[in-house]
Amino acid sequence: QGKYQTWAKTNSFESMLPGDIKDHKEKAVHAQQAINSHLTKRKLVEWVVPYSDKLFKTAAIEWLIAMDQPIQALEHLKFKDMIDVAACVTNGIKIPGQKATHADIMHIFKNHLTKLKVTLNVCLLILAVSPYII
């Protein structure tokens, strides 16, 4: 060992010589590997908030304010239907992302147009066969 390395050890100084830096990095890698063997992977579990009327009221009001909805939105039949569906869940709700929601809306719209087309074709067929039936 050279004088510099001896001096660094006695003065608690970390040597910055290329060989010493390499040794420090190797020691760090070995120390990290020793820690990794003790770690185990765990699944992330979503925390489900226990229901209370007060908590629901607060969440509903905060939603109204954040989304700039009219107060009557809480009385809308579709909002009540959504809450009834959500009330049956025991493990929390998974809310779909924007892409999935967009795809679902497009699918619902396409189905609605298809049903509308079938309905209108039936009406036109009846008129074509006998224009006096009404």
pLDDT value at position 107?
Answer: 94
Is pTM beyond 0.75? Reply is: no
pLDDT value at position 86?
Answer: 85
Q: What is the mean pLDDT of residues 85-108?
A: 86
Residues 21, 5: Cα–Cα separation, whole Å: 12
C-alpha distances in Å from residue 15, one per residue of 19, 27, 28, 31, 96: 9, 14, 15, 19, 54
